[in-house]
Amino acid sequence: MSRYYTRVCNFYYGSKSRSLVKEKKALPLNGNNKISFDKVEIISRKSAKKILIKKINSLPNKIKKIVKKDIKLITKRKKNFKNLSFKNIPNIMGVLNITPDSFSDGGKYNKNNLAKKHLNYLFKSGAHLVDIGGESTRPGSKIINSKIEWNRIKDILKKIDKKKVISLDTRKSDIMEKGINLGVKLINDVSGLSYDKNSIYILKKYKTPFVLQHSLGNPDVMQNNPKYKNVLLDIYDFFEKKIKFLRRIGLNHNNIILDPGIGFGKNLKHNMTIIKNISIYHSLGLPILLGISRKRFIKELSGNNDSSLRTGGTISSSIFAMMQGVQILRVHDVNEVNQSIKVFKKLIK
């Protein structure tokens, strides 16, 4: 029997969106009339069909029930948590890698004074939260032990302003617990809580919000010819299965953010399919995070127009993601992305 998935599409933003919602010609995403949609794409592993919202009642009963249930989740207002407002689309997550070998900024912020200075700069530039990591998870990177990882980040974590939202980018439960005890408010585990089985119980113990990311294997092997039956739906099923498991073991809070993991076990075709169709994950009822900053797909698409910081590609894909209702963008160049979003919003107002 075919399984059906609902992807909202044909989005409107700004004054056009508010007008269409008022006229009941479009539905608001997360109860926010600044961004809305008037179509859904009904997807199975065999077919895909777009239909206007106003024509949903003409669908066969089985499919109509699925779509209506999904739309109820998609239009429901998201509860804010840890100072993140999901009425504000997008929230900006700045990146602070305190490593010698991260793919883009490895070695730049290894010294404590440089890390603190950059952290302050990211918040001053408009980051709503900052993701701090002490272990590189770029393609081909090797695992480091907890002692090395903790020694890289402990000093900066001890100095964080408790009023700021700090996310900790780690796969290890002992690092998570130490960070939470120092005021970390969000855990970002690129392994999708698969690397360290104790991580789930730490998050349950402290009731800490977290990012659930999809990754195909560990970083050292994840880019070795990654394969999917259907990358978009396989990741959807991964999220759904993982969330059900978390509920079964008693992790019942909804402070979970979904990240499909661009570049984590995906080739160019996979990455493009995910970004183009990212709005399918709204029907899981949780906020979406997208990490597209400076990633390889920008180089692959831009060819001889590639650059070291890939600012242009980051900005264009960030605006595209915002127009698909992505709630959080993880970026290195917070000031430049914020600048582009502010200009865009004024133009479309």
* Mean pLDDT across 196-217: 94
On the question of a cis peptide bond just before residue 100, with omega within 30 degrees of 0, the verdict is: no
Which candidate, 170, 177, 126, places its Cα nearest to that of 148? 170
pLDDT in tens, 130-175: 999 999 887 777 788 999 999 999 999 998 888 999 999 999 999 9
* Mean pLDDT across 102-110: 52
- Termini Cα distance of the chain: 45
Annotated catalytic residues are 295, 330
CA distance 66 to 76: 16
- Residue 102: the pLDDT is 47
CA distance 184 to 197: 20
Is-contact 97 133, C-beta < 8 A? yes
User: Is the predicted pLDDT of residue 107 greater than 90, yes or no?
Assistant: no
User: What number of other Cβ atoms are within 10 A of residue 34's Cβ?
Assistant: 19
- Residue 244: the pLDDT is 95
SS3 4: coil
CA distance 192 to 190: 6
User: Is the predicted pLDDT of residue 110 greater than 60, yes or no?
Assistant: no
User: Is the predicted pLDDT of residue 264 greater than 70, yes or no?
Assistant: yes
- Residue by residue, DSSP assigns 204-263 as HHHT--EEEE--SS-TTTTTSS---SSHHHHHHHHHHHHHHHHHHTT-----EEEE--TT
* Mean pLDDT across 255-260: 96
Is-contact 129 186, C-beta < 8 A? yes
CA atoms within 13 A on the CB side of 207: 5
Higher pLDDT, 259 or 86: 259
Is-contact 289 211, C-beta < 8 A? yes
CA atoms within 13 A on the CB side of 265: 21
Is-contact 136 143, C-beta < 8 A? no
CA distance 82 to 209: 8
pLDDT band at 194 (very low <50, low <70, confident <90, very high): very high
User: What number of other Cβ atoms are within 10 A of residue 58's Cβ?
Assistant: 9
User: Is the predicted pLDDT of residue 103 greater than 60, yes or no?
Assistant: no
* Mean pLDDT across 211-239: 88
pLDDT band at 252 (very low <50, low <70, confident <90, very high): confident
- Residue by residue, DSSP assigns 104-116 as TTTTSS-SHHHHH
**Residues whose CB is less than 8 angstroms from the CB of residue 306 and which lie 6 or more positions away in sequence, other chains included:** 298, 299
User: What number of other Cβ atoms are within 10 A of residue 344's Cβ?
Assistant: 17
Two tokens at 86?
A: 């999901």
pLDDT in tens, 298-340: 999 999 999 989 999 999 999 999 999 999 999 999 999 999 9
CA distance 340 to 45: 37
- Residue 86: the pLDDT is 85
Is-contact 243 284, C-beta < 8 A? yes
User: Is the predicted pLDDT of residue 10 greater than 80, yes or no?
Assistant: yes
CA distance 260 to 212: 8
Domains annotated for the chain, with CATH where assigned, are 5-75 (no CATH), 91-348 (3.20.20.20)
Q: How much is the mean pLDDT over the chain? A: 92
pLDDT in tens, 32-80: 999 999 999 999 999 999 999 999 999 999 999 999 999 999 999 988 8
Percent of the chain with pLDDT over 90: 81
SS3 130: strand
User: What number of other Cβ atoms are within 10 A of residue 326's Cβ?
Assistant: 23
8-state DSSP, 267: -
User: Is the predicted pLDDT of residue 222 greater than 90, yes or no?
Assistant: no
User: Is the predicted pLDDT of residue 123 greater than 50, yes or no?
Assistant: yes
* 46: exposed, middle or buried (Cβ count in 10 Å: 0-12, 13-18, 19+): exposed
Radius of gyration from C-alpha coordinates of the chain: 20
Percent of the chain with pLDDT over 70: 95
